[in-house]
Amino acid sequence: MTARAHPTRAVTGLLAIAALLLASAVAFDTPAARAEEGDITWGIQPSTPSGPDGRTAFTYQVAPGTTITDWVGVVNDSAVPATFRVYAADATTDYDTASFTLIGSDQASTDLGSWTTIDTGASACADTNDDAEAACAASLGVSVTVDPGTTQNIPFTIVVPQDATPGDHAAGIVASYTTPASSGGTSVVQENRVGTRIYLRVDGPLTPQLGIQGAVAGYEGTLNPIGAGTGFVGFDILNTGNTRLSAQPAVHLTGPFGIDFGTVQLDPVRNIVPGGTAHVTAQVAGVAPLLLLFADITVTPLPGDSLADTDPLPAAVSSSAITWAIPWMLLLILAVIAGVIVLIVVLRRRSRQRLAEDLAAYADQIRAEARDESEARDESEPVR
C-alpha cells in the first residue's frame, strides 16, 4: 500500500492584499509531534502544568455532559522565539493515504474539535457560508509566543455535550507556524502544522462495523507473449460503526478453474475513525494471463491504537472483483501470423487464377489461329 502526502484545502484570507493560505499535512509522531520550517523547529505533546508527562496521546472515556481539563505543551527547539497558533480540529481518515489526519485549517470543527477550547480561545464557528467559515476557522484557538529552547504549557477544556453520541470521537490539538512567501506576485502564507491526538469515548452502546465498497480489479501484461503480468486491486474500507477500528486487508487472486495466484497480506490500516473511509490498493506480480482474473478481498477488524483488546470487534467483511487478463502481445503475434497465412493464401489463389486465365487465353488464341488457317485453305482450293 503506497501513501501520498495529504494536501489540505487552500484558505482565502481577509487581507488588504489577496492572500492564499496553503496548509500542509499535519505531522503526527510520538511521543511528541515535530516539525521544521526554516530556522524554526517545534513540537507539541500532552503535558501538565509543569511539563510533558510522557503520554503519547490524550485518551478519555467519559459520560455525556462531562467537562475535562488538561494541558498541552508546545516546544520551541529553535534558537529564536517563535509564535504559534494552537487550536483543536476534528480528526478524519485521509481517503488517499488511509492515515489519521485532521480537517483543513479552513474548516470549522463540528465534533470533538468544537468541544475543545484551548485556553481562552474560541473553538467553534456558527453555521454560515464557506467564505465566512474559512475566516472564522482561521481565528480559532490562541496565539502563543514560545521562547527558544522552552516549552509553554497551555490549559484546555473539553466540554462533552449532554446529547453526545455514544462511541469514539477523535480530534487533535495543532501547533501551526506560518511563514510569508510570494507566488506569482500574490502574497502567500505557508502554514505548517503538527498535532497531538485526542481520543475520546462517550459512554453508551458500542456498534463496531466495517464495510467494503468500490472494489475494482485490473491487469497489466508484459512484452513477453508468454510472460506473467501484474494484477491490481483497489477498494474502500468504511467505518460505518461508532468505534475507532484498525483493519487488516488481504487479497486472494485466482484464475479460471480456481487456478491460485496466492494471497497478499497488506499493511494494516490504523485507526479508521467512525464515518471515515480509507482507499486501499494492492498489486500482485507473477499472474499469468488466463483471460479472466478473480480478486477476493477480506478485511479483518483489529482494535484501534490505545484501545483495550477486550473492545468488541465486528466480523470480517469480504468483497470481490473480476477483470480481463488478456495476453495482448500473444494475441498480436497470433494475429500477425494469421494475417501472413491469409495473405499467402490470397496471393496463391490470385496466382492460380491468373495462370488459369493465361491458359484460357492461350487456348483461345490457338483455336483462333487454327480456325484462321482452316478458312484460308478453304478459300485457296478451286471450285469443281
- Cα distance between residue 261 and residue 293, in whole Å: 9
C-alpha cell at 163: 446529547
Between the CA of residue 104 and those of 12, 193, 197, 232, what are the distances in Å?
13, 10, 15, 31
190: number of CA atoms within 13 Å, CB side?
9
Q: CATH number of the domain at 15, please.
A: 2.60.40.10
- At residue 185 the predicted structure's pLDDT band, cuts being 50, 70 and 90, is low
Looking at the chain, the whole-number percentage of residues with pLDDT higher than 90 is 62
381: containing domain? 342-384
Residue 376 has pLDDT above 90, yes or no: no
Last-in-domain residue among 202, 237, 252: 202
- For residues 317 and 362, membership in a common domain is answered with no
Domain count across the chain:
3
pLDDT of residue 182: 54
Residue 1 has pLDDT above 70, yes or no: no
- For residues 286 and 242, membership in a common domain is answered with yes
Q: Phi first, then psi: give them for residue 343, nearest 5 degrees.
A: -60, -45
3 located within any domain: no
Mean pLDDT of 359-370: 85
- For residues 125 and 87, membership in a common domain is answered with yes
Per DSSP, 8 falls in state: P
Mean pLDDT of 237-256: 97
Mean pLDDT of 292-319: 92
| pLDDT, tens digit, 9 for 90 and up, residues 49-97 | 999 999 999 999 999 999 999 999 999 999 999 999 999 999 999 999 9
The torsion of the CA quartet 134, 135, 139, 140, rounded to 10 degrees, works out to -30
- For residues 272 and 132, membership in a common domain is answered with no
- For residues 82 and 220, membership in a common domain is answered with no
Last-in-domain residue among 300, 326, 352: 326
- For residues 224 and 186, membership in a common domain is answered with no
Residue 362 has pLDDT above 90, yes or no: no
- For residues 288 and 359, membership in a common domain is answered with no
Last-in-domain residue among 202, 227, 243: 202
- Cα distance between residue 287 and residue 323, in whole Å: 12
| 9, 104 contact by CB (below 8 A) | yes
Which helix (H) or strand (E) covers residue 348, if one does?
Answer: helix 328-380
- For residues 219 and 366, membership in a common domain is answered with no
- For residues 214 and 184, membership in a common domain is answered with no
**Range 303-308, long-range pairs (CB < 8 A, 24+ positions):** 303/245, 303/246, 304/168, 304/199, 304/243, 304/244, 304/245, 304/246, 304/270, 304/271, 304/272, 305/57, 305/246, 305/270, 305/271, 306/56, 306/57, 306/59, 306/199, 307/243, 307/244
352 located within any domain: yes
- For residues 174 and 61, membership in a common domain is answered with yes
Highest mean pLDDT among 127-131, 332-336, 365-369: 365-369
Q: Which residues, at least 6 apart from 104, have a Cβ–Cβ distance to it below 8 Å?
A: 8, 9, 11, 23
- For residues 88 and 186, membership in a common domain is answered with yes
Pick from 19-33, 88-102, 128-142, 276-290: least confident: 19-33
112 located within any domain: yes
Residue 7 has pLDDT above 50, yes or no: no
- For residues 302 and 170, membership in a common domain is answered with no
| pLDDT, tens digit, 9 for 90 and up, residues 99-147 | 999 999 889 999 999 999 999 999 888 866 777 888 888 889 999 999 9
